[in-house]
Amino acid sequence: MALLESIISSSDIALNQVSEMGGATRVLVEAVEDGTGPCKEHAVGILVQICRSCRDRYRGMILREGAMPGLLQLSVDGSRQAREKAKALLFLLRDCSHGGSSRVKQSKRVLFEEVMRQIDGGGELELLFSW
C-alpha cells in the first residue's frame, strides 16, 4: 500500500488508473476497515488523493462502499498520520450540497461538527450515535 500511495501521489496517470480500476475503491475501503495499522494509513491516503482528484465523481463511490465506520474508527484509534488522513477524507466526504432545507443542513452540520469535536477530543463516538 505504501508503494501505491507513493506512486499515485507523484503521477496523475497512476492516480487516474487506480481511480478508474473496477473494485479498487472497495478494496481500499476494506483495507481501511481490516488492514494492519500502516495498511489502513496508506489506504486512506490513497482514498484522500482519489477524492481530491474529483470530489464530485468519487465522493459517492467511496460512501457507497461503506467507508464511514472505518474512517471514524481510524480517526480515533489510528496513528497521528492516519488520524489526519482520515479526518481529511471525512471533510471531503462531508455533504456540502446546496439543495435541501436550511434546517436539515444545519442539523447535519451540527452533527458533523460534534463528531469532529469527539474525534479531536478522543471521546467515544458510540455515545453520539446511540439515538
The burial class, CB within 10 Å (0-12 / 13-18 / 19+), for 24 is middle
Residue 122: inside a domain: no
**How many separate domains does the chain show?**
1
pLDDT in tens, 48-104: 999 999 999 999 999 999 999 999 999 999 999 999 999 999 999 997 654 455 566
State the residue for C-alpha cell 492516519. Answer: 82
> Mean pLDDT, to the nearest integer, of 96-122?
67
The region that residue 78 occupies, defined by phi over 0 for left and psi between -120 and 50 for alpha, beta otherwise, is beta
Query: pTM score, two decimals?
Result: 0.74
Residue 121 lies in a domain: no
Residue 129 included in any domain? no
Q: Could you tell me if residue 48 is inside a domain?
A: yes
Specify if 104 maps to a domain: no
CA 110 to chain centre: 19
Helices (H), 21-66: 24-34, 37-53, 55-64
Residue 130: what pLDDT? Answer: 46
Is 21 inside any structural domain? Answer: yes
In a domain, 102, yes or no: no
Using the predicted structure, report yes or no on whether residue 127 has a pLDDT greater than 80.
no
Q: Which domain holds residue 67?
A: 2-96
What number is the average pLDDT over the span 9-34?
A: 94
Q: How confident is the model at residue 131 (pLDDT cuts 50, 70, 90)?
A: very low
